[in-house]
Structure formats: structure tokens, C-alpha cells
A and B are shown apart, each in its own frame.
Chain A
Amino acid sequence: MSGRKDREERREERLRAEEEAAGGDRRRRLLQVASAAVFLTAAVVLVLIVVNANKSSGGDASSIQHVDTVESLLHGIPQRGLTLGEPGAKVTLVEFGDLKCPVCKAFSEEVIPPVIESKVRDGSAKIEFRNFTIIDAESTPAGAAAIAAGKQGRGWQFIEIFYRNQGNETAHYVTGEFLMAVAKAAGVADIARWNRERKSTRILAEVAKTTEEAEGLGFEGTPSFAVSGPAGEGLEALGTVEAGALEAAIDHAAG
């Protein structure tokens, strides 16, 4: 009896040991799979980050972004040429800007939207964009392309989308391809006409003329602002202003 009991005990012990060994093997395999998955995931995340970091930080014709943001900013506001707002608005705010200028981009994204919402949308003022080309030779074709887009009622979409996809200040990204990508994203309907007009002598001369006008007003940097309204006498130079000062200048010019 005792021999049989011993055998059973030894058998149970062996089965227990085998079960523990199998559980240990399974655990080892699972942890190996988990470790491999962690390394794989870390590698994939790292690759994604490196790929994104190396992507052009703007000026990329194949990846025009923020179109919806611009559309919602300008939605429902009339525009003519490069003037945004009701034609009959009493006050005109003039922005002398360079599409390649990074400070203008910052203004376009942070300072101008509140002005549009609080002063332009309700018809108190209109904003006119005039080219003041100071960065480099690419500033002129960029500005001319904006004027040509304005001829088709999409000037402000062009300006705002350009700013939001602007490349580095010193980079040469203002190619025909980039300008066309911006124009298409801006909703310019007749691209062939826009392409012709942006290279026309008349429009290129207009860019040069507004640049001279800005210099005549004593401006030295972009963006520079000027305002005109019933309380003032003609175009009053404001220069480059702090956030919030444009609204105050509009109120002052309105009288």
C-alpha cells in the first residue's frame, strides 16, 4: 500500500513540476514577444518622428495645409482685389507685407484674425494688402501671384494659405509649382488666366509701385500698417504695431 502511495505522490510531483516548467516556458515566450513588440513600436515611433522632422517645414507644394482654417476665417466676407471686407466700410486698414516674411506670417496667424472677426466681419473696416517686397527676389513673384488671385476674388485666400505654408525665409521655395499649389488650394478657378496674369508687366509693376509707396511712408520693415478713416486725414502710417493696437487704430480712425 505504502509503495503505491509513494508512486502516486511521485507522479503528482512530476506532473506539478512539468506543469510549472511548461508555464515557465510559456511565460518566457510571452515576455520575449512583448519585448520584441516594445522594441518594434519604439523603432516605428522613432522613424515616424525622424521622417516628420526631416519633412520641409513649409514651402512644400505637395503638402499645402490649413486650407480649412483659412476658409473658415474668411467665410462670408466680401473681397475685391486684395481688399477684404465691405467696400463701403468707413475705415481702411492697409497692411504692407511680404509673403516671404516670417513676421508677416506670425501676424497673419495671430494678429490679423481677431481684427477680421471684430472689425471686418461686422463691416466696420476693410483690410487691404499691399506688397512691400523686402526679403529677396522671390518676394515679387509671390506678391504678383497674390494680386492675380485677387483678380478672381481669391486674393485673401491666397495670402493666408501662402503664409500658413511659408518656407524658411532664406530658402528658395517660391517656384511656379508652389505658387500653383497655393492658388489651387485658394480656390482660384481659372488657373491658366491666373498663371498668365501673375507674370504680366502690369501686375509686376503694381508690386514695385506698392513697395515704393511703403518706402515713401517711411516704412522699413514688414508688416507695416497704415489706416484711413473719417476721423483722419488720408493714409496715416502706423508702422509695425503690437497685437491689439490695430483695433484701437481702427476705432480712432472711425471717429
Chain B
Amino acid sequence: MRGVATFLATLGVAVSTYIAIADSGGGSPVCLGGSHGCETVANSSYSHLLGVNIAVFGIFGYLILFAAALSRGDGARLGGFAVSLVGFGYSVYLTYLELFQIEAVCQWCVASAIVMTGLFAVNAIRMVGYAGKPA
């Protein structure tokens, strides 16, 4: 479980770092197949929270999940579960915004949402299956 979580967290860091770098130059991530979805989503008011690109929060979240995946014990299980739960909840909200408010889909955001869903599943199994048991 920890190996899968480590892999997914690494993937998440990579995806959110790309989105943050693409945005930092005043641009936007490039969608595959010539779609303008990434540009539309990046230019929407929902792409920033308190003036900071949400991908930056994503990087921190995935780094915490990376650290939790490498650690043992109930603290790491609970921490990993809590952070992935918040990340998963936010991904659901962002996907709703893309589909019904912004009316554009950014492939990189979808990729991040899938990775976060995977991390939530793995951390939930780790929590439910092993909580209270020895490290």
C-alpha cells in the first residue's frame, strides 16, 4: 500500500508542478489534441485561491502525502487519510466547477483528480485496514 501511495504522490507532485510552472509565466498548461480547455480553466477565477494558483496548494498536499506514504504508524495513516480526503473532496468540487461553471475541462486537472482519487482509496484502505495495529 505504501509503495502505491508513494508512486501516486510522486505523480501528483509532477502534475501539479507542471500546472504551477505553466501558470507562473502568465500562460496555461497545454491540453493534448489542441483543446482550449486548459487555457479556459487556467484563466477562470477558480484557478486561484487567495491569489495563489491552486496547483501550488496541490504540490504541498502531494508532498505531505508522499511523506505520509514513507512513514509508519497511526500518525502517518491518519495524516495521509486526512490530507487525501481533503484533496479528494476538493477534486470533486473542482471537477464540478469545470463541468458546470467554467464549462471547460482541463486534462491536467483531470489527471490530478484521478491521482488524488487513487491516493484517497489507498490511504482509506491503509486507515481502515491497519489503524490501531502495530507499525
Contact = CB atoms under 8 A, between A and B. Distances in A.
Contact of B132 (A24, A41, A66, A68): A24
A40 to B, nearest CB: 9
Given A45-B93, A69-B40, A30 B133 contact: no
Contacts of B124: 34
Contacts of B88: 41
A180 B29 CA distance: 33
A145 to B, nearest CB: 23
Contacts of B24: none
A45 B92 contact: yes
A42 interface: yes
A44 B74 CA distance: 25
Given A25-B132, A41-B85, A52-B100, 7 more contacts: A30-B74, A34-B127, A37-B81, A41-B89, A48-B93, A53-B100, A72-B43
Contact of B127 (A30, A45, A63, A65): A30
Contacts of B92: 45
Interface of A: 23-28, 30-31, 33-34, 37-38, 41-42, 44-45, 48-49, 52-53, 63, 65-66, 68-69, 72
- Point out which of B44, B96, B132 has the most chain A C-beta atoms below 10 A from its C-beta: B132
B4 interface: no
B114 interface: no
A66 B81 CA distance: 36
11 contacts: A23-B133, A23-B134, A25-B132, A31-B128, A34-B81, A41-B85, A45-B93, A49-B96, A65-B45, A69-B39, A72-B43
A65 B96 CA distance: 18
Among B78, B85, B89, find the residue whose CB has the most chain A CB atoms closer than 10 A: B89
B113 to A, nearest CB: 13
B101 interface: yes
A30 B132 contact: yes
B97 interface: yes
Contacts of A72: 43
Contact of B74 (A24, A26, A68, A69): A26
Contacts of B81: 34, 37
B89 to A, nearest CB: 4
Contact of A66 (B43, B82, B97, B134): B43
B86 interface: yes
